[in-house]
Chains A and B, each alone.
Chain A
Amino acid sequence: MTTTASRSHEEFFLDPQRCIGCHACEMACAECETNGQLAMIHVDYVDRAMSPQTSVQVCMHCEEPTCARVCPADAIAKDELGVVHSANAARCIACSNCVLACPFGVPKKIEPMKLMMKCNLCYDRTSAGRRPMCATVCPSGALWYGPRERMASMRPNSSPVNEFRFGLQKVRTRVNVMMPKGSTELVVDGTEAP
């Protein structure tokens, strides 16, 4: 892999509140060379009946990726840059374990191809020092990629957070979510689940 030009001081910052649902990132994502014209990013209405709020989700590149651990085929690998890759095309047996177990709801399974695909941080671009496609087009700053100090000066009232808690499970990620200043974790413990 061409990792020589990777700029490790650049990070991904996600601010779901800023998503305006324009789908520009989706179009850009489909241009990424690693996923063959298919968009991997998710743009959703959060609760269509109640509000027009939209939200955007990329792979968070977890430190201990649940997707990789539940894969029966050893098809998902995390590399030395901390990037969690799309399924290995020769190994994935399309079981959907990763789709159902990822706490962020990220992987997509393409059934006819018997293949899981997901965001791999535009590996062709980020490993060569370029920004991911989605972050180059997002007009509202919901997706931003660059040096941490730049982000700090742009958003003085927010803190990047990369620790999450889903129920009892703590998850640390490579990608950050912008939270109110001083926050250290984002707790996701929906009350809807039975």
Chain B
Amino acid sequence: MLSTLNLRALGWALLASALLAASVVAGSRNLQNFDGALAAYLFATLFAAFGIVYRYAVWLQRPPTRLYWRAGWRLLFSPRFPAYLAELARRLVDELALQRFIWKRSPKRGLAHVLLAWGCLSAFAITVPLVFGWVHFTLKAGTIDVYEAHLLGFHAFDFPLGGFVALNLFHALNWSSVLVLLGVFGFLRRRITDAGQISTQTFEMDLMPLVLLVLISVTGLGLTWDYELMQGRAHPFMAISHAITVILFLLWLPFGKFFHVFQRPAQLGVALYQREGEAGEQAVCPHTGEAFASRMHVEDLKQVTAELGYDYRLAGGGSHLDLSPQGKRAALAKAHLAARTESGAFFG
């Protein structure tokens, strides 16, 4: 166990969780505004932060990942900073917010994912500050129907109970749940009907995440259902079942499918790398005579494959990786033809 522990990653993970814990203490004014009922959620979140940073740090140590991580930051803070910042902003909206590339896979997948992702992200945006004690509400002194919202211990704004603001504020999480449920059903439908998905999916990596999201959303909606329509009679059951599902989600966040939420921004680094590549020298395939990638990319891949223990250098100098994919296929076909020719028969 100890020998497989990645000390570097462990260091980053400990640092990140310590910083997060410190920010919780500071943001909740020495836990004065921290809601003890949410303690289990807080510990699960701290564990998730630890796990996410640990896995991320291990991931960054892989040669190809390290290549893009370093190149991404180096290019961003290069003399092309303004252009690359603009590119980043554009991609942030197009790829991470609107997720247009998923719509290109199919409109149904795009819609389902946007609903699912924004349902989840909005739920995080609401619950995390509450769990950390960064946001809390109090009854305004001398009134019985005005609430005060506090941010990091500072008074933010007042709003009347039963009004428009109150209604939306207290029900925002229900809207998130509805978005998540709609998205999940879109994906579940696909997972149950698409033969390709059925043959390649696994329970832990593909179905379980969807089931967990359904459970979280339904038990969350159940809390409102209970106090609006059942006078809170089922509150203990609803509160505990919701807490269990959310905590399972948080504990599993660093390991399973949901980790892609943290991995995906890497596509922004790749985008900068590709733009830099397009502006530079192109690699020309010796077989087709056409440009097929940036020279930088081909050279970096020679380096990365070497670090991974592959050696694609050719006997007469050069590398198999200098060929385009089409060139590689032709090289194999030609080698095969040469072997057959030498044997004296094309078939056999």
Q: B residues engaging A (CB < 8 A)?
A: 59, 62, 64-65, 67-68, 95, 101-102, 104-106, 194-196, 198-202, 257, 260, 263-264, 266-267, 270, 273-274, 286-287, 293, 297-298, 301, 304-305, 308, 310-337, 339-340, 342-343, 345-348
A-B contact pairs, 6 of them (CB 8 A): A15-B347, A44-B329, A47-B334, A93-B266, A100-B301, A113-B102
| Residue among B200, B273, B305, B330 with max Cβ neighbours from chain A (10 Å) | B200
Q: Are B330 and A104 in contact (CB under 8 A)?
A: no
Q: Chain B contact residues: over half helix, strand or loop, or mixed?
A: helix
Question: In whole angstroms, how far apart are the Cα atoms of A41 and B64 in the complex?
Answer: 26
Residue of A nearest to B109 (CB): A89
Q: Is A186 an interface residue (CB 8 A)?
A: yes
Q: Which A residues are within 8 Å of any B CB, using their own CB?
A: 1-2, 15-18, 32-36, 42, 44, 46-47, 53, 55, 57, 66, 69-74, 85, 89-91, 93-97, 99-107, 112-115, 120, 123-124, 127-128, 155-158, 164, 166-169, 177-181, 183, 186-194
A1 contacts B312, C-beta separation under 8 Å: no
What's the least CB distance linking A104 to chain B, in Å? Answer: 6
- Give the complex CA separation of A33 and B334 in angstroms: 32
Q: B348, A181: Cβ atoms under 8 Å?
A: yes
CB distance from B333 to the nearest CB of A (A): 4
Least Cβ distance of A53 to chain B in Å?
7
Nearest CB in chain B: distance from A86 CB, A: 8
Distance of A74 Cα from B308 Cα, bound (Å): 14
- Chain B residues contacting A102 (CB-CB under 8 Å) are 325, 328
B326 to A167, Cβ gap below 8 A? no
- B312 near A95: Cβ-Cβ < 8 Å: no
Whether A17 contacts B336 by the Cβ 8 Å rule is yes
Contact B267 A103 (CB under 8 A): no
Q: Is there contact, CB below 8 Å, between A101 and B301?
A: yes
**What's the least CB distance linking A38 to chain B, in Å?**
11
Bound CA span A186–B68, Å: 34
**CB neighbours of A112 from chain B (8 A):** 101, 104
